[in-house]
Structure 1
Amino acid sequence: MYSTWYTFHQQLTHEGIEEQCSLAKASGCNAVIVDDGWQTSDNARGYAYCGDWLVCGEKIPDMKAHVERVHALGMKYLLWYSFPFVGRNSESWVKYQDKLLFTMDDLAAGVLDPRYPDVREYLIGIYEKALLDWDLDGFKLDFVDMFRQPDNDNAEEDDGHDYLSVAQAVDVLLSEVMKRLRAIKPDIMIEFRQNYISPLMRKYGNIFRAADCPNDAIQNRIRTIDIRLICGKTAAHSDMIMWNSDEPADSAALQLINVLFSVPQISVRLDTLPESHMEMLTFWLAFWREHRDVLLHGSLEPHHPELLYPLVIARNSNGLIAAVYQDTIVRLEGLEPAKVVIVNGTRGDRIAFEAMEQMGTRNVRVISCTGKTVAEYSMEETRGLQVIDVPPGGLVVLRQIG
C-alpha cells in the first residue's frame, strides 16, 4: 500500500495524491490510504474540524471523480477517519456536545459516547454514505482506543443510554459497522492501529497495522512480528515506511527488509527519490510480491524475541526465506526446500549459515539491494558452516540443481 501520511501530513491535494499513486502503482503498490487532512483546510494538526466529514473543496474539489481517477490507475482507495472524535469547530459539536465521554482541550475535540443509539447510528451513517457516494474500498478507523469508561461514571439507562458499559457499546458499534459496510461491499478493508488490536479485534477489522514509528526500521520489525504472532489470518501491515532520500540506497533498503514479513506501506515522495532508490524500492516490492506466499502465509519462525528478533524465517513447501538483522548464523535443519533465500538486513557485507544436512549442489546467486546480480556460481558442499559475501541490503538465493 501507499500512504499519504508521512508524505503530505495534512497538506493534501488531489493532484499530489494522484501523482504519487501513479508512481506507486508502477513501483508495485495496489492501494492507497489517504490520511488526515482531506476533511479540513486547516493544516495545524489537532482535531477541531473532525465530525462533519465533509471533503475540503480546496484540496479535493470532486471526491468521487478523484477516487475514480485513482481506481483507473489500478489502485484501491482507503480513507482515514478519527473514529470517536468530534471537533469543537464542527457543526456536529452543537448536536453531540452533551453526548461525549470526555473532552480533550489540547486537541479541541471530544470523544463521542457510543452508549447512545443515535451516536452509533450517526457514526455508521457517515461510513455508509462515504462508501456509497465515493465508491471507497476501505477505511482507516483511527483512535478506537479512545473509547473509555469515564471516571466516576453516573450513566443510567433512562437518560438515553441503552448500555452502561462503554466496552459493550463499542462492541455493538464496531459489529454493526462491519455488518452494514460488508452488506454494501463484502471485501471492504478496515484498518486498526496496534494500540487497539488483539485477537478479539479480528471480528471488526481485517488489517492490523504497526503503531507509528517513522524512519525506525527496528521498531517496525518488532511491531510487525508482534502483530503476526497474534493476528492469525488477518493482514499484518507495517507502519508507513519513510527514509531520507540522501542516504545510500542500501541503507534505505533496510526500511523494507525489516518489514518483509508484513504488508509494507510506503510513505515517501516518490517523485523526489533518486534513481537508485526507485530501483531499490521496485526490486524489493517485486521480491515481496513474488514471495508473499512464503513471507505471509508460510510457517513463521521469529528467533530470539529477547534480542528483538535478529533472525526471522518463513517457510513452506516451495521455499524458505530467512532475514538476518545482525551478524548471526542462520541454522538450516533437515531437508530444506529447493529454493532457500537469505536476506542481508544489516549494514555488513556477508551472511553466514550452517546446514545441518547436505542440501545438494546449489546454484548461488548474490543480488544487490537494487536487484542486480553481483555474483553467481555453484556450491557442491553445502553441509556445515558457510559464509557468503552479500552486499548490505541484498540477498543470496541458493537454488537446488537437479
Structure 2
Amino acid sequence: MKNLMNASSPIVTFHDTRQFFDVSQHIEIVEDSVWLIHLKLRAAAGTQPPACRLEWSLPAIDIHSMWHPGSDRNKAFQIDWGEGFTSRSTSSAPVAALFNGEGRNRITFAFTDALNHLTVKAGIHEEDSTFLCSITLFEEPVLMKGEYEATLRIDQRDVPYYEALEEVVQWWARQPGMTPSPPPAEALDPVYSTWYAYHQDITADALEEQARLAKELGCDTIIVDDGWQTEDNSRGYAYTGDWEVCADKFPDMGAHVAAIQDLGMKYMLWYSVPFVGKHSKVWDQFADKLLGIDDNLNAGILDPRIPEVREYLIRVYEQAVTNWNIDGLKLDFVDSFRLTAGLPGVSAHGNGGDYASVPEAVDRLLSDVMGRLKALKPDILIEFRQTYIGPLMRTYGNMFRANDCPNDFIQNRVRTLDLRLLSGHTAVHSDMIMFNPQDTAENAAMQMIHVMFAVPQISVRLDRIGDRHLAMLRFWVGFCRDHRDVLLHGKLQPFHPELLYPIVTAISRNKTIIAVYSETVVELDHPSERLIIVNGTPGNRLYLRFSCSFPGSYAMEIKDCCGQTVRSQTVELNEGLQELVVPSAGVVGLVLNPLHIELA
C-alpha cells in the first residue's frame, strides 16, 4: 500500500489477484500531482475471475468532506469497513473527490471502466487517521476475454473541487467509446411534464390544453409520461410491454402529437425500458427471456443479452418515431437491467443469448437505440433519469434529469448541481416542479429558483394554480430562458457541497449570476458588467462583501417573485460589506453604466 500524500509516483496495491492474473501497471505523469495508472490483468479467456481490489491510502490532512455521484445530501466521510458505493454503466460513475472546508481538492480519483460493476471506496481508517481508497473489480460474475485494461486517474492538485471534477469529465470524454452525444438545441428548452400533474390519468384533450398554456409560459417541449399506454391507473407495471396506445385516452395518437407540435412544441414519450407486465399481450413471448420477476411491480425484467429482446425494444421505439412522428423518448428504469440472484450469471447462450455480460448487452442495446433512432431523426431527444448518469450514458442520451423529489426544492437543487458537475455539455434537467397552489407564490417560486442552473421541468395543472402563481412561473421560466447562456453554459461554481450548495455562481465574459440559498455573506471578488443575484432564502436581506470597489456607477433594479419591479436606482458598489433589501424569491440586477435594465 502506498501513501500518496506528497508522493512523487503513486503505487496501487492489488489484492486477491496474483494467483489468477498476470498483473502489470504503468504510471504516467500527466502534470504535477496528476497521475494515470494504466492497469493490465491477463488471464485465460473464458475463465471467471475472482473479485480483486486496487487500493491506496493518504493521510486525513486538511480533508473535510467527500463528494461522489450518489452522495446526494450526505457529503460525509465514508468508513473504510463500510460498503462504499457501486458503479456500472446504468448507475452512478466511478469517481470520488475529497476536499477541504474551502472546497479545495485534496484527491479526486476516477476510473475508465464505467461499464462493469465496481465498488468504489474512500473510507476513513480510524486506527491511524488515513483514507483507504479502493476500487473493487469482478464482484459480479464475468468471463475474461484474455486481457482486462483500465486506467486510474489520481488528481491531488490544490484546485477547486469542481475544477478537478470538470477535468475528469473531459478525460472520460476522450476515452475510446465514451464520446458524448451532442445535445440538440431543444434539449435546453424548458419542459412541461405530465407526471406529477396527472400521473396516469391523462387524455389527449387535457394534454393539448396544458401544452397550449405551457407554451405561453415559455415551455417548448412536453414529456408525456406513464399512462398513455394503459387504462390502468394503479401506478403498477402489469400492463407495460405492448406499448400500444390506449384508444380511450388517445383516439388518434398521430393527430394528437401533430396538434401539440403545431403549437411549436417538441413531443416526447415515456417508456419503462426493461419491464414486461404479467398482463401484457407479449408476456408469453418473453416469459422465458427474463433476468427476473418483480412481484411488487407485477412485471418481469427483460434479458438484454437475447437479440430478440433487444430487437423488439428497438422496433417499438422506431415505430413510435415513424408512426406518430414523436421527437424524443424518456427511457426509464434502465438501471433495472441487472442480474437476479439464482439466475445464470455469465452465460445466456443456452437461452438464445449472444452476450455473457449483462452490462455489455445493455451497452449494445442503448447504443443501437441511439444509432437507429438518430438515423430516423438526427436531433432525437433521449432523456435518462438519475442515477443512470455516467460517462457511458452520455453517449446514449442527451438529457439527464434529477431523480424524483416531488415538492422538495432543496433536494432538487442538490441533485441538479451534482448532475451538472459530471455532465459536461449534456443537458441537465430538474425533477419535475410541483407545488401546492394554496402555498404562497414566494414559496412556490423556490421550486424554480433552486434549480435555475438546470433546465426546468414543470408539472402542475396550469389552469388550476391561479393568476399569481402563473405570473411567477412565467417570470422564472423567462428568466431561465433569457440567461441560459450563463446559467447552463457559463463557468459553474457550486460552493460548499457539504452545506448543500448554499451559494452557486455562474460566470460568462460580461455577466455573473449568483443564487443565494442560505443567509450567508456573498463574497464578490471580480467586477462584472452585469451582476444578477437571486434571493433563494426565506428572508428579505442579502449580504454582499466587495473585496474592491467595482468601477463606475451601477443601475440597480429589484424585482419580486413575479417579476414586478419594487425598487430602481443608481448605486455605487464600494469595498466592504453591504446589505440589500430584496424580497424572498426576488432578484436584484446591477448593470454598469446602462442605458436601460431588464432582468427578464
Residue 315 of structure 2 corresponds to which residue in structure 1? 125
Residue 425 of structure 2 corresponds to which residue in structure 1? 233
What is the CA–CA distance in structure 2 between the aligned matches of 1:192 and 1:74, rounded to whole Å? 23
Q: Secondary structure at the match of 1:127?
A: helix
What displacement does 1:156 show? 4.3
Q: Secondary structure at the match of 1:233?
A: coil
What displacement does 1:149 show? 2.1
What is the CA–CA distance in structure 2 between the aligned matches of 1:70 and 1:380, rounded to whole Å? 49
- Superposition pairs for residues 47-66 of structure 1, below 5 Å? 47-66=237-256
Residue 341 of structure 1 corresponds to which residue in structure 2? 532
> Which one of the candidate residues 90, 93, 101 is aligned to 2:283?
93
Larger of the two Rg values belongs to structure:
2
Amino acid across the alignment from 2:317 = Y
1:238-265 CA distances to partner (integer Å, 9 max, x unpaired)?
0000001011111110000000000000
Residue 352 of structure 1 corresponds to which residue in structure 2? 543
Further displaced range: 379-388 or 35-44? 379-388
Amino acid across the alignment from 1:240 = M
What is the CA–CA distance in structure 2 between the aligned matches of 1:284 and 1:15, rounded to whole Å? 27
What displacement does 1:153 show? 3.5
8 Å contact from structure 1 (residues 332, 353) kept in 2: yes
Q: Secondary structure at the match of 2:474?
A: helix
> Which one of the candidate residues 202, 217, 223 is aligned to 2:415?
223
What is the CA–CA distance in structure 1 between the aligned matches of 2:454 and 2:317, rounded to whole Å? 27
Report whether the alignment pairs 1:26 with 2:188. no
What is the CA–CA distance in structure 1 between the aligned matches of 2:387 and 2:245, rounded to whole Å? 27
> Which one of the candidate residues 345, 354, 358 is aligned to 1:166?
358
- Using structure 2 for the length normalisation, give the TM-score: 0.66
What is the CA–CA distance in structure 1 between the aligned matches of 2:348 and 2:296, rounded to whole Å? 29
Q: Secondary structure at the match of 2:403?
A: coil
What is the CA–CA distance in structure 2 between the aligned matches of 1:39 and 1:137, rounded to whole Å? 18
Return structure 1 stretches of 4+ with deviation > 6 angstroms: none
What is the CA–CA distance in structure 2 between the aligned matches of 1:276 and 1:99, rounded to whole Å? 53
Report whether the alignment pairs 1:309 with 2:501. yes
Residue 255 of structure 1 corresponds to which residue in structure 2? 447
What is the CA–CA distance in structure 2 between the aligned matches of 1:156 and 1:15, rounded to whole Å? 45
- Using structure 1 for the length normalisation, give the TM-score: 0.98
Further displaced range: 75-84 or 371-380? 371-380
- Superposition pairs for residues 195-344 of structure 1, below 5 Å? 195-334=387-526, 336-344=527-535
What displacement does 1:200 show? 2.1
- Superposition pairs for residues 117-156 of structure 1, below 5 Å? 117-154=307-344, 155-156=347-348
What is the CA–CA distance in structure 1 between the aligned matches of 2:404 and 2:377, rounded to whole Å? 28
What is the CA–CA distance in structure 2 between the aligned matches of 1:285 and 1:159, rounded to whole Å? 51
Percent of aligned pairs with the same residue? 55
Residue 143 of structure 2 corresponds to which residue in structure 1? none
What is the CA–CA distance in structure 2 between the aligned matches of 1:199 and 1:147, rounded to whole Å? 17
Report whether the alignment pairs 1:68 with 2:258. yes
What displacement does 1:199 show? 2.0
8 Å contact from structure 1 (residues 362, 382) kept in 2: no
Q: Give the unaligned 5+ runs of structure 1.
A: none
Amino acid across the alignment from 2:542 = I
Amino acid across the alignment from 1:101 = L
What is the CA–CA distance in structure 1 between the aligned matches of 2:574 and 2:253, rounded to whole Å? 58
What is the CA–CA distance in structure 1 between the aligned matches of 2:271 and 2:574, rounded to whole Å? 53
What is the CA–CA distance in structure 2 between the aligned matches of 1:303 and 1:280, rounded to whole Å? 27
What displacement does 1:381 show? 4.0
Residue 71 of structure 2 corresponds to which residue in structure 1? none
8 Å contact from structure 1 (residues 149, 165) kept in 2: no
Further displaced range: 84-93 or 351-360? 351-360
What is the CA–CA distance in structure 2 between the aligned matches of 1:386 and 1:146, rounded to whole Å? 52
What is the CA–CA distance in structure 1 between the aligned matches of 2:230 and 2:572, rounded to whole Å? 63
Amino acid across the alignment from 1:311 = I
Amino acid across the alignment from 1:21 = A
1:16-37 CA distances to partner (integer Å, 9 max, x unpaired)?
1011100000011000000000
What is the CA–CA distance in structure 1 between the aligned matches of 2:467 and 2:350, rounded to whole Å? 65
